Amino acid sequence: MSATPATSEAPRLARSTAIVGSAVLASRVLGLVREQVFAAFFGAGRELDAFVTAFRIPNLFRDLFAEGALSAAFVTTFAQKLEREGERSAWRLANLVVHALLLVVGGLVAIGMLYAGGWVDVIAPGFAETPGKTELTVSLTRIMFPFLLLVALAAVAMGMLNAKERFGVAASASSFFNLGSIVVGVATAWWLEPEYMSGLWRGEAGTNGAAAARAISGMAVGTLVGGALQLLVQVPSLYRLGYRYRPEISFTDPGLRRVLALMAPATIGAAAVQVNVMVNNNFASTLGDGAVSWLNVAFRFTQLPIGLFGVAVGVVALPAISRSVAREDAGSFNATVARALRLVFALTLPAAVGLAVLAPEVIGLVYEHGRFGPHDTAMAAQALVAYTIGLAGYANIKVIVPAFYALGDARTPALVSCASILVNAGLNWWAIHRLGLGHVSLALVTSAVALLNFAALFFVLVGRIGRLPIGSAAARIALASLGVAVACFTVRFGVEAIASPATFAGQAVVVAIAIPSGVALYVWLGARLGVEEIRTLLDRVRARIGAS
């Protein structure tokens, strides 16, 4: 690539990231509501452990194929097709990919449903010690496995919209998944087991295992319907952009072959953390009822800043850096990648500090209702603190891995990911079987591996494309993030003087005051320390105020 600098992507990156971030925020909030529903109706026990594990199996394949490797490989190729050959060629590629998915992923879904018992035995061998737990997990897996095909097709639709810079609709699609999961899931569960579902309001513990199993099967049906809504909501926007479905299939097409060539190693490269979470599930299943659910609750909270910031920035940056490669513009490529990494650090580091300090309050506020009790809150909070250590590394993987794909290199992320998976499994085995540690050690290992994964990819990319100036900025951001901790601890100390932070009211007051206080102190310190991203934000706010 030539070394022509380009700065025109900077305003577009920030503006589009704000659009995607807002849509992702809505989706993550609905996702938390969904998790609240599960926690309230089922608590952290046999049924929720079974559902989390059953959904994790197709969800792993979603990350491997649909929203990981497939999305990155398709957007890269589709965007370059648009830049070099025009819309007609790009739309044809989309149809070829759709039909390849119907054949390949459809076959995978059939195999997955047929051999669900084998998947469960591998991922959660400890479930066999609890009567009926393995059988329930297998049943839920078979209900939800077709979700994989639906979300794979949704990822192609999302890729087309993103490449055409229609980010809002694509990012909002997952909100419809959560809505479908909640509304249809609760309605179906109530239809199957009205006595169990209504027992929450009567103050009943809900110890009837058979009734709980039928109720959570209804929630699995809702998850499947949500996957269908995630696909269908994007279809009108695609039609307005000019996409038309055509029954075409050709595995010899150069564009499709390039997508598949990128996907093969990218399938591994994009999935290291999720595979590691699956390994964690395996070890957690041996720690008794609740461990899988506690880790899932904690990991859900880390997904909020990862989705808001890491995924949002990565989604917006990928088409831009793919166009830079198509134009052979090295200056634009380097500048966009560095800017994206700095932006993710500026957003995730303070979020990680805030989550670590406020872990008991935020988990208690969101989840401690119904059958999810104080002990569950305490155990999940410990895991959340451990997960936040690696949050920034995990989020930046969402940016740096697609940079390799845009360069046509999916092999390097795959090799790094293979190494990280082996390290994760080894450290988990050592922590559980040799040191006798609990579920928190599994979260700590996940964080360490995510940071190592990002560091390895970063230094390899620097060696290939040249300097990426983020070190000084990251240090200033980390220093400013200490202000978040100061604000959160100060607020908690003040609330303790008038109310217990362990109560719902105390938790609400701490969170309501600590978050804006932490943000304000972080922004002030960041501006004083010269964090470019914060200064840009303040300049835009002043400009809008002046314009009004």
Domain ranges of the chain: 9-469, 470-548
DSSP string, 245-310: ------TT-HHHHHHHHHHHHHHHHT-HHHHHHHHHHHHHTTS-TTHHHHHHHHHHHHHHHIIIII
Rounded to 5°, the CA angle 467-470-472 comes to: 115
d(CA 257, CA 123): 32
| Residue 15 CB neighbours (<10 A) | 13
Please measure the distance between the N-terminal and C-terminal CA atoms of the chain and give it in whole angstroms: 43
Determine which helix (DSSP H) or strand (DSSP E) holds 349, and give its type and residue range: helix 330-357
Residue 329 is given by DSSP the state B
In angstroms, the CA 56 to CA 398 distance is: 20
Residue with tokens 């055509």: 246
Return the pLDDT at 388. 92
Residue recorded with tokens 């305490």: 378
3-state secondary structure of 500: coil
pLDDT at site 172: 81
Tokens in use for 206? 């809900």
* Sign, Cα dihedral of 185, 186, 191, 195: positive
Task: Give the model's pLDDT for residue 370.
Answer: 66
Phi and psi angles of residue 329, each rounded to the nearest 5 degrees, phi first = -110, 90
Residue 4's pLDDT is: 44
Contact 24, 171 (CB under 8 A): yes
**pLDDT in the model for residue 487:** 92
Task: Give the Cα separation of 260 and 266 in Å (integer).
Answer: 9
Of 63, 70, 228, give the one whose Cα is nearest residue 150.
228
What pLDDT is attached to residue 336?
80
CB 145 within 8 A of CB 58: yes
Name which of 29, 2, 39, 19 is nearest 370 in CA terms: 39
> Could you say which DSSP state residue 65 is in?
I
pTM of this prediction? 0.68
Give CA separation, 417 vs 282, 283, 391, 398, 427, in Å.
19, 20, 17, 13, 15
CA–CA gap between residue 69 and residue 80 (Å, rounded): 17
Asked if 307 and 393 touch (Cβ cutoff 8 Å), the reply is no
* pLDDT tens series, the chain, 548 aa: 544 444 445 555 556 666 766 777 777 778 778 877 887 788 767 788 888 888 877 776 666 655 566 777 787 788 788 878 888 888 998 899 888 888 988 998 999 899 888 888 887 888 888 888 888 999 999 999 999 889 888 888 888 887 787 777 777 888 888 898 899 999 999 999 888 887 766 555 545 678 888 889 999 999 999 999 999 999 999 888 888 888 888 888 888 888 877 776 666 655 565 676 677 777 777 777 777 778 888 888 887 787 777 766 766 776 777 777 777 777 777 888 888 888 888 888 999 999 999 988 888 888 877 667 788 888 889 999 999 999 988 888 888 887 887 787 878 888 888 888 888 888 888 888 777 777 888 888 888 888 998 999 999 988 888 778 787 888 899 999 999 999 999 988 888 877 776 777 788 888 889 999 998 999 899 888 888 777 776 666 666 555 55
Sign of CA dihedral 341, 343, 349, 355: negative
Q: Contacts from 521-530 at CB under 8 Å and sequence distance 24+?
A: 521/483, 521/484, 521/486, 521/487, 522/350, 522/480, 522/481, 522/483, 522/484, 524/483, 525/479, 525/480, 525/482, 525/483, 526/346, 526/476, 526/477, 526/480, 529/476, 529/479, 529/480, 530/476
pLDDT of residue 3: 45
Distance in angstroms (rounded) separating the CA atoms of residues 383 and 249? 47
Rg (CA), the chain: 23
Q: What CA–CA distance (Å, rounded) separates 322 from 317?
A: 8
Question: What are the φ and ψ backbone dihedral angles of 2, each rounded to 5 degrees?
Answer: -75, 165
pLDDT at position 2 is 46
Q: How many residues does the chain have?
A: 548
Q: Measure the CA angle with vertex 476, ends 514 and 321; round to 5°.
A: 100
Residues 357/491, Cβ–Cβ less than 8 Å: no
d(CA 25, CA 18): 10
474, 331 contact by CB (below 8 A): no
Q: Please provide the DSSP assignment of 180-242 as one string.
A: HHHHHHHHHHHHH-HHHHHTTTTT-----HHHHHHHHHHHHHHHHHHHHHHHHTTHHHHHHHT
Residue found by looking up tokens 């007609």 in the block: 88
**Closest residue by Cα to residue 383 from 435, 448, 425, 439:** 439
